[in-house]
């Protein structure tokens, strides 16, 4: 009897242990899944003249069903954002309508403003994750303005572009046309940039069909085009992340400085010996600075997590190198004016002379210390 009981409890206990272990494993894998979950936003920019095959390319690459070859939408010319949801991913597609070579200079402003606004965001999910520029290999026309006004400025602003040669299926002198376009583009880019940006130039046939002779035209180039875009994104992430992090640090610290100066200009300072009001202001300023560091770290963590999601999605097995985040020294204290302590002779002197000081000079002095702290942190980051 006793043995039976012992057995039962013994086995029950081990079952429980196993269940707990299994539960633990489940939770772990759930956490893992959570960490690497797929990005739910993809921003795509597709550029090129009307009829270059932009919409057909999008349909082919991403399986969309956008109307092809149609006239202008009522909304008119320019950049249009379309949101298409597929398998839980929201594709924000920026397509251009009615753009011709003669309108390129005005179009340039709009495109570059959009790209720089999105690509400098402290959220990777705001960036463009794929940028394509289409030229038709049928006409094989490349206007100077397209290179000069759009492609070169984009590259200069740190935005890599996948060049797609559409209509790349077999046709009259097609191979020569494609080779000629590739060579011409490379030369033009090197001439203007003074280096080879090594853009991917991908021939694509986006539309299946039949030749006049009745031969089947199959589509091709999808894998190469998507891969090129993902390669660019992985490179963008590695290049842009540290710069965006730095910008965010500067932004947040500048805001801290502004808030502190406002506080010091308007906060109450009274003149009673051992009065804490000036110290309270300093404490507020320092507390705010600590919080600012916390917010900077949280933003850095979020950036890194997002970047890893997109890198993984881009087929890059390596997550961000831990050292991507630029270091800066965390000088937290705007020191001085420790009225409440009054321990040393020099401090006592300071208190005594503080009595003689005007409220304005105290404010000015503290303001200078805020400025110095700010400058020291900035400088520590520039050095690295
Ligand atoms: N054969 C072939 N036709 C294409 C290709 N890409 C686009 N087209 C056709 O070219 C026309 C214009 O394409 P569209 O995607 O609307 O160009 P968009 O104005 O740049 O958006 C349509 O009739 C498409 O069917 C391609 O790769 N091969
Ligand atoms: Mg179109």
Query: Is the Cβ–Cβ distance between 222 and 60 less than 8 Å?
Result: yes
* 176 and 245 housed in the same domain: no
Tokens at 73, concatenated: 């939408």
Rounded to the nearest whole angstrom, what is the distance from the C-alpha of residue 54 to the centroid of ligand 2?
5
Residue 32 belongs to a domain? no
Rounded to whole angstroms, what are the CA distances from 341 to 92, 332, 337, 364?
A: 59, 19, 9, 22
Bigger pLDDT: 75 vs 19: 75
* 103 and 172 housed in the same domain: yes
The confidence band for 307, taking pLDDT boundaries of 50, 70 and 90, is very high
Among positive and negative, which fits the CA dihedral 188, 190, 196, 197?
A: negative
* 248 and 369 housed in the same domain: yes
Rounded to the nearest whole angstrom, what is the distance from the C-alpha of residue 48 to the centroid of ligand 1?
12
Taking residues 134-141, report their average pLDDT. 93
Among positive and negative, which fits the CA dihedral 43, 143, 236, 379?
A: negative
Rounded to the nearest whole angstrom, what is the distance from the C-alpha of residue 67 to the centroid of ligand 1?
11
The reply to whether ligand 1 has any atom less than 6 angstroms from the CB of 320 is no
Give the total number of structural domains in the chain.
2
Q: What is the pLDDT of residue 345?
A: 40
The reply to whether ligand 1 has any atom less than 6 angstroms from the CB of 82 is no
Residue 330 belongs to a domain? yes
Residue 148 belongs to a domain? yes
The reply to whether ligand 1 has any atom less than 6 angstroms from the CB of 68 is yes
Residue 134 belongs to a domain? yes
* 270 and 157 housed in the same domain: no
Q: What is the pLDDT of residue 79?
A: 83
Residue 284 belongs to a domain? yes
pLDDT tens digits, one per residue of 327-371: 888 876 666 543 333 334 444 445 555 555 567 777 888 888 899
The reply to whether ligand 1 has any atom less than 6 angstroms from the CB of 96 is no
* Lowest-confidence segment of 46-55, 146-155, 269-278 by average pLDDT: 269-278
Rounded to the nearest whole angstrom, what is the distance from the C-alpha of residue 52 to the centroid of ligand 1?
6
We report the CATH number of the domain holding residue 68 as 3.40.50.300
Q: What is the pLDDT of residue 10?
A: 38
Query: Is the Cβ–Cβ distance between 377 and 328 less than 8 Å?
Result: yes
Rounded to the nearest whole angstrom, what is the distance from the C-alpha of residue 205 to the centroid of ligand 1?
9
pTM listed for this prediction: 0.77
Last residue of a domain, one of 185, 220, 255: 220
The reply to whether ligand 1 has any atom less than 6 angstroms from the CB of 164 is no
* 168 and 253 housed in the same domain: no
| Residue 203, SS3 per DSSP | strand
Asked if pLDDT for residue 13 goes beyond 70, the answer is: no
Rounded to the nearest whole angstrom, what is the distance from the C-alpha of residue 163 to the centroid of ligand 2?
16
Q: What is the pLDDT of residue 274?
A: 47
Residue 137 belongs to a domain? yes
pLDDT tens digits, one per residue of 168-182: 987 878 899 999 999
Q: What is the pLDDT of residue 207?
A: 93
* Lowest-confidence segment of 23-32, 34-43, 210-219, 295-304 by average pLDDT: 23-32
pLDDT tens digits, one per residue of 191-209: 999 999 999 999 999 998 8
Residue 235 belongs to a domain? no
Residue nearest to atom 7 of ligand 1 (CA): 53
* Lowest-confidence segment of 165-169, 181-185, 316-320 by average pLDDT: 316-320
* 256 and 208 housed in the same domain: no
Residue nearest to atom 13 of ligand 1 (CA): 53
Residue nearest to atom 28 of ligand 1 (CA): 167
Residue 109 belongs to a domain? yes
Asked if pLDDT for residue 269 goes beyond 80, the answer is: no
Nearest ligand, CA 134? 1
Q: What is the pLDDT of residue 131?
A: 97
Of the chain, the percentage scoring pLDDT greater than 70 comes to 78
| Structural domain containing residue 379 | 241-383
Asked if pLDDT for residue 272 goes beyond 60, the answer is: no
* 179 and 320 housed in the same domain: no
Rounded to the nearest whole angstrom, what is the distance from the C-alpha of residue 165 to the centroid of ligand 1?
11
Task: Round to whole Å and give the CA distance between 56 and 21.
Answer: 52
Task: Round to whole Å and give the CA distance between 25 and 31.
Answer: 10
Query: Is the Cβ–Cβ distance between 78 and 107 less than 8 Å?
Result: yes
The reply to whether ligand 1 has any atom less than 6 angstroms from the CB of 59 is no
* 201 and 331 housed in the same domain: no
* 59 and 119 housed in the same domain: yes
* Lowest-confidence segment of 13-22, 153-162, 193-202 by average pLDDT: 13-22
Bigger pLDDT: 233 vs 274: 233
Residue nearest to atom 9 of ligand 1 (CA): 53
């Amino acid at each position: 009897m006793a043995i039976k009981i012992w057995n039962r409890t013994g086995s029950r206990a081990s079952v429980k242990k196993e269940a707990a272990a299994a539960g633990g494993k489940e939770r772990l894998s759930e956490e893992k899944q959570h960490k690497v979950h797929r990005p739910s936003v993809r921003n795509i920019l597709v550029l090129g003249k009307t009829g270059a095959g932009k919409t057909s390319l999008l349909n082919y690459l991403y399986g969309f069903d956008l109307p092809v070859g149609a006239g202008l939408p009522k909304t008119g010319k320019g950049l249009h954002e379309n949101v298409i949801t597929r398998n839980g991913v929201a594709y924000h597609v920026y397509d251009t309508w009615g753009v011709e070579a003669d309108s390129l200079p005005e179009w340039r402003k709009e495109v570059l403003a959009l790209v720089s606004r999105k690509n400098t965001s402290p959220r990777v999910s705001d960036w463009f994750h794929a940028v394509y520029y289409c030229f038709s290999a049928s006409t094989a026309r490349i206007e100077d303005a397209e290179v000069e006004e759009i492609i070169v400025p984009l590259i200069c602003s740190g935005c890599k572009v996948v060049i797609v040669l559409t209509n790349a299926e077999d046709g009259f002198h097609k191979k020569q046309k494609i080779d000629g376009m590739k060579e011409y583009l490379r030369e033009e880019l090197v001439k203007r940039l003074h280096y080879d940006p090594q853009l991917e130039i991908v021939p694509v046939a986006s539309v299946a069909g039949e030749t006049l002779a009745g031969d089947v035209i199959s589509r091709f180039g999808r894998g190469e085009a998507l891969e090129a875009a993902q390669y660019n994104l992985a490179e963008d992430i590695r290049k842009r992340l540290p710069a965006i992090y730095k910008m965010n640090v500067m932004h947040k610290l500048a805001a801290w400085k502004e808030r502190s100066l406002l506080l010091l200009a308007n906060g109450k300072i009274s003149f009673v010996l051992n009065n804490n009001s000036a110290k309270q202001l300093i404490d507020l300023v320092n507390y705010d600075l600590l919080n600012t560091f916390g917010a900077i770290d949280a933003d850095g963590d979020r950036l890194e997590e997002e970047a890893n999601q997109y890198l993984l999605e881009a087929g890059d097995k390596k997550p961000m190198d831990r050292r991507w985040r630029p270091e800066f020294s965390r000088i937290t204290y705007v020191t001085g004016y420790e009225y409440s302590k009054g321990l040393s002779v020099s401090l006592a002197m300071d208190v005594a002379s503080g009595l003689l000081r005007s409220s304005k000079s105290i404010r000015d002095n503290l303001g200078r210390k805020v400025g110095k702290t700010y400058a020291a942190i900035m400088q520590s980051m520039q050095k690295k």
